[in-house]
Amino acid sequence: MRHIGFGFALLFLLCVAQVQAAEDRLAVERVDKDREVYKGLTVDKKFTKRLPTGYREIVSNSQREEIYKIQQEYFETIELLKARIELLESERNLKIANLLNDEQRGKLKNPRRGNRGQEAPAPKAPAEPPSVPTPSN
């Protein structure tokens, strides 16, 4: 009888731990979406159902729908992170370019044009944060 009571107690603790872990994950996601770094960033891109390479031939229709649900669950967060990375790279490049004086900028060859001797453009502040597509249900 003691073994049954111990088993129920262990099962109860495992269930509580699973629920707590799920609540923690949701709390982290909410905090991440509300963080200041995402202010002004929007998602404009439409979610597209795509199976990973090679999956089409091996998954059932129910597995296919589950895969699409999982992909859509992560879609917006991933797109916001991509936009944040783009914004950070723009800020980084601006800070680096601002270290140069006009003479140095004049000597710098534009790497986007294959270093053919073109002058690099003067640094300018990034306009608005990049817009990121929103998922459509």
Express each pLDDT in 55-71 by its tens digit: 999 999 999 999 999 99
**In contact, 66 and 109? CB cutoff 8 Å:** no
pLDDT score of 43: 73
pLDDT score of 112: 57
34: nearest Cα among 65, 75, 77, 73: 77
Helical (H) or strand (E) element with 94: helix 61-98
Which residues does residue 119 pair with via DSSP β-bridges, in sequence order? Answer: 109
Which residues does residue 109 pair with via DSSP β-bridges, in sequence order? Answer: 119
Residue 83: partners with Cβ closer than 8 Å, 6 or more residues away: 41, 43, 129, 130, 131, 132
Ranges of residues in the chain with a pLDDT under 50 are 115, 137
Cα gap 108→123, rounded to integer Å: 12
Cα gap 54→45, rounded to integer Å: 25
